[in-house]
Structure 1
Amino acid sequence: MKNKFRKWTDVYKFTLQQVFKKKGFKVVTVLVAFGIFAVAVLLNILSAKPEKDVEPSSIEKVYVLDESGFTETDYSAYLQAVDDIRFKHINFENVSNLSKQQAIEKYEENPENNLLVVVTAKDEAFEMEGILLEESSISKKEAQSLLEVMIGAFNTNKIMQVGLTQEELAMVMTPIVTLYSEVGEDTSIVVVLLKTLAPMLFSLLLYFMLLLHGLTISREVSTEKTSKLVETLITKVHPYALITGKVLAVSSAAVIQVLVWFFALLTGVFGGNAIARSVYPEYQNSVIAIIKMLRESMGEMAFSIPALILAFIIFCVGFLFFCFLAGLAGSMVSKSEDAASIQNLFQLPVVVSWLTCYIATIQEKDNILEVARYIPFTAPFSAPIDLILGKMGLINGLISAGVLILFSIGVIILSAKIYKGLILYSGQKINLRTIIDTLKN
């Protein structure tokens, strides 16, 4: 067996060099990495920039015509209590002793930077109307903002008419927040969102990586196999070494590309944080803060170094497992026109495995996800992110990695046997019977 895989490193080095020499590969890797780094740094700087101070409104005076039937609302006291910087300076004048027409005439005498507000009772509701003259410098948006605050003051005044004490009023005005959780489950919104979104985003990333690079492997193996070059190659290198070196090379290139992008992201996050803190010393990076909070709320295993290393190993082995499946599909091609149909044999398990984990995450089917961690087809989509989030222990992670490694070795041997057995079936029709006979012999 060792002699059969001899010189696979030569094939690996040569194929990897050819991949790196491709202009498209280098351009995409560098541009995406630079884009990720730039966006991460820019987001840090923009989020670190302090918000502009709230400026007082241009409204100076408000005439209030209250026809609701309630006791007059003290809008000034309410604004002082809520400490609304925009409207604290406004002078409210009660004109309830006037008719609506008289109030409008009084307002018309001095409309600049002033506003007329009419409160009326209609049927079973109350209406608050803001009146602006065309020559007023107050915008409709600014007037609407003030009316929203005045509505809050009016509603508070209504409740106070019932005779509640200050303590009772505070209890009535306290909002109610509802959360649903099972016993022992964390109710933090950030944690819940991360537990839901992170597996979905990770599975999407792996799914597109497999479709892109898996089809590339399948096409490369089938193209070389159907060409006349293969007859020369097999005189120098055993078919086992040939397919192993090629698949490992393309897989390594894909993983290296993703690692470059990941390190660009890390560099952008921490580098941008350093730049932002040098300009705004009080700035705290939200990503770093969230990671710290997650470790506190989800346990010490979340985002720990051992969990990250094991998750990366499972990701790489799982990716390699599917890449050898792609090589297996490519090794079954005997005619170039059959390549597209044979490649569906690789796409089908990828799509089914991804959909299983994706839908189970959306519908919160934890029992399905727990089983998926130990099935070689679904483990790459679920186990790595579960380890990172602390939902899966290191021992379970090692079991998942072991299952993947065993099945990957099996697929390597199976792919190599089929590749070797069918290597001279160029242009002939391949069926299941032919493949079975090849494996037997």
Structure 2
Amino acid sequence: MTTQTPTRERTGAGGRRPMSFGAASLLVAEREITTQVRSKSFLISTAITLVIVLGGIIVSSLIGGGPQDDTRVAVVAGTADAVSSVEGIEAVPADDAAAAEELVRSGDVAAALVPDAESELGFTVVALTEAPADVLSALSVTPPVELLEETATNDGIRYLVSLAFGLVFMMSAIGSGSMIAQNTVQEKQTRIVEILLSAVPARALLAGKVLGNSVVAVGQTAAIGAVAALGLVLTGQNELLDLLSAPLVWFVVFFLVGFVLVAAIFAAGASLVSRQEDIGSVMMPAMMLVMIPYFVVVFLNDNPVAMTIASYVPFSAPVAMPVRLFLGEAAWWEPLLSLAVLVVTTLGVVAVAARIYTGSLLRTGPRVSVRAALGRD
């Protein structure tokens, strides 16, 4: 008679079952999210950002000027037809030329059109102290213009949209990336990381940090987008909002993948040092990778060649491609190809970052070289 000895499941420290990679990553992500959203500095900075976005849209709308009131011009029976179909001119009937001039003197109208038999147009513009430029401009005859390459947006809107997309990505990437770096170094410096690694694998710790901060960054971006949409609605810029709808969706998609790329670099770089004073030296390359594409997109947004190249460079694609989509300069397949390039690059960078992070996380003292972290020394 034979008996079967039951096999015992492998257990971790304290006799507990080891946590799976996914569960460990989610646990670390939850910790990162909770820590950030409970931080007063995070809440205050987010609130200030949202107020600035909303206020900026409202103020720019007021400065730019909404729909302007029509210019009031006095007319008599013989001159009413001259402004009946002119945009920007409100005709104010007067009994005769003398009554029209009296309306000008009283300030009720900006100018008056009175009959003049000697004028080629058949009337004369009467004003009080100076020639009314807006009235003369509205009355002038402009020949029709045919544009061979008509652009959908003017230069001002092009620059503002490029600036907005660039600022949101750069500020979110650098802000959250710096938070990842500071937390990583602090955990090494206080040796808390040794306790964390006794519960979760190093790769799960990295994955959780990137995932948690990505969720926070995307949440911030979504909040900024919602406030911006509210500002456009409140200021009556519904047409601009319609043009931005599809590019905003693409921006969120590109932002999510691009942020994972940047976050992995920040985390891997921070794991190479053990003191807060040394963060700047390892973070500068990552910051430059984010800032240089931002300046390229903002200052070269009117250069089609530069924007096309930037839309396929992984670090600038999250900004350049949505801007090109907004301007109508990208074919339907281009964002798909650009996103594929970004995803492949992100997977490669994350794989290398994971090796660096795992190989240097428990090393304290002097700065660890990338070669040593990769185990090539």
TM surpasses 0.5: yes
Could you tell me whether the CA contact under 8 Å between 2:158 and 2:327 is conserved in 1?
Answer: yes
Instruction: For residue 242 of structure 1, report the CA deviation from its aligned partner.
Output: 0.8
One-letter amino acid matched to 2:316:
T
Instruction: For residue 379 of structure 1, report the CA deviation from its aligned partner.
Output: 0.8
Q: Determine whether 1:244 maps to 2:207.
A: yes
The alpha-carbon distance between structure 1 residues 178 and 321, as it changes in their structure 2 partners (threshold 3 A), is farther
Could you tell me whether the CA contact under 8 Å between 1:317 and 1:408 is conserved in 2?
Answer: yes
Unaligned runs of 5+ in 1: 57-73, 95-111, 116-137, 273-284, 293-301
The alpha-carbon distance between structure 1 residues 432 and 21, as it changes in their structure 2 partners (threshold 3 A), is closer
What is residue 354 of structure 2 aligned with on the other side? 416
One-letter amino acid matched to 1:248:
L
Q: Which of the numbers 299, 312, 315 marks the counterpart of 2:252? A: 312
1:244-393 to 2 correspondences below 5 Å:
244-267=207-230, 272=234, 286-290=236-240, 308-361=248-301, 364-393=302-331
The alpha-carbon distance between structure 1 residues 336 and 379, as it changes in their structure 2 partners (threshold 3 A), is same
1:218-233 to 2 correspondences below 5 Å:
218-233=181-196
Q: Distance in 2 between matches of 1:265 and 1:365?
A: 26
SS in 2 for 1:85: strand
SS in 2 for 1:426: coil
Instruction: For residue 396 of structure 1, report the CA deviation from its aligned partner.
Output: 1.5
Instruction: For residue 249 of structure 1, report the CA deviation from its aligned partner.
Output: 0.9
Post-superposition CA distance 1:311-334 (Å, at most 9, x none): 421121112212222222212223
Could you tell me whether the CA contact under 8 Å between 2:274 and 2:367 is conserved in 1?
Answer: yes
Could you tell me whether the CA contact under 8 Å between 2:182 and 2:276 is conserved in 1?
Answer: no
Q: Distance in 2 between matches of 1:218 and 1:89?
A: 79
Q: Determine whether 1:17 maps to 2:24.
A: no
The alpha-carbon distance between structure 1 residues 202 and 261, as it changes in their structure 2 partners (threshold 3 A), is closer
What is residue 213 of structure 1 aligned with on the other side? 176
One-letter amino acid matched to 1:219:
Q
Post-superposition CA distance 1:102-161 (Å, at most 9, x none): xxxxxxxxxx9997xxxxxxxxxxxxxxxxxxxxxx7xxx59x86xx47x97xx96xx85
What is residue 132 of structure 2 aligned with on the other side? none
Instruction: For residue 88 of structure 1, report the CA deviation from its aligned partner.
Output: 7.7
Q: Distance in 1 between matches of 2:104 and 2:231?
A: 50
Unaligned runs of 5+ in 2: 1-18, 84-89, 123-135
Q: Distance in 2 between matches of 1:366 and 1:22?
A: 42
Q: Determine whether 1:185 maps to 2:147.
A: no
The alpha-carbon distance between structure 1 residues 415 and 368, as it changes in their structure 2 partners (threshold 3 A), is same
What is residue 24 of structure 2 aligned with on the other side? 7
Q: Distance in 2 between matches of 1:378 and 1:41?
A: 29
One-letter amino acid matched to 2:187:
E
Q: Which of the numbers 327, 342, 345 marks the counterpart of 1:407? A: 345
Instruction: For residue 176 of structure 1, report the CA deviation from its aligned partner.
Output: 3.9
What is residue 140 of structure 2 aligned with on the other side? 174
The alpha-carbon distance between structure 1 residues 329 and 53, as it changes in their structure 2 partners (threshold 3 A), is same
- TM-score when normalising by structure 2: 0.71
Q: Distance in 1 between matches of 2:96 and 2:157?
A: 44
Instruction: For residue 44 of structure 1, report the CA deviation from its aligned partner.
Output: 10
One-letter amino acid matched to 1:185:
E
What is residue 368 of structure 2 aligned with on the other side? 430
One-letter amino acid matched to 1:174:
S
Q: Distance in 1 between matches of 2:161 and 2:81?
A: 44
Q: Distance in 1 between matches of 2:149 and 2:103?
A: 57
The alpha-carbon distance between structure 1 residues 235 and 396, as it changes in their structure 2 partners (threshold 3 A), is same
The alpha-carbon distance between structure 1 residues 348 and 114, as it changes in their structure 2 partners (threshold 3 A), is closer
Post-superposition CA distance 1:389-408 (Å, at most 9, x none): 43323422111111111111
One-letter amino acid matched to 2:238:
I
Q: Distance in 2 between matches of 1:174 and 1:164?
A: 13
The alpha-carbon distance between structure 1 residues 88 and 344, as it changes in their structure 2 partners (threshold 3 A), is farther
Q: Distance in 1 between matches of 2:69 and 2:121?
A: 37
Could you tell me whether the CA contact under 8 Å between 2:272 and 2:369 is conserved in 1?
Answer: no
Post-superposition CA distance 1:28-72 (Å, at most 9, x none): 445655786799899999x9999699699xxxxxxxxxxxxxxxx
What is residue 98 of structure 2 aligned with on the other side? 91
- TM-score when normalising by structure 1: 0.62
Could you tell me whether the CA contact under 8 Å between 2:254 and 2:339 is conserved in 1?
Answer: yes
One-letter amino acid matched to 1:239:
A
Could you tell me whether the CA contact under 8 Å between 1:311 and 1:388 is conserved in 2?
Answer: no
Q: Distance in 2 between matches of 1:232 and 1:312?
A: 35
The alpha-carbon distance between structure 1 residues 40 and 226, as it changes in their structure 2 partners (threshold 3 A), is same
Could you tell me whether the CA contact under 8 Å between 2:251 and 2:319 is conserved in 1?
Answer: no
SS in 1 for 2:150: coil
Name the larger-Rg structure.
1
Instruction: For residue 3 of structure 1, report the CA deviation from its aligned partner.
Output: 6.6
One-letter amino acid matched to 2:324:
D
Instruction: For residue 355 of structure 1, report the CA deviation from its aligned partner.
Output: 1.5
The alpha-carbon distance between structure 1 residues 207 and 114, as it changes in their structure 2 partners (threshold 3 A), is closer
Instruction: State the number of aligned residues.
Output: 339
SS in 1 for 2:284: helix
Could you tell me whether the CA contact under 8 Å between 1:11 and 1:245 is conserved in 2?
Answer: yes
Q: Distance in 1 between matches of 2:145 and 2:165?
A: 26
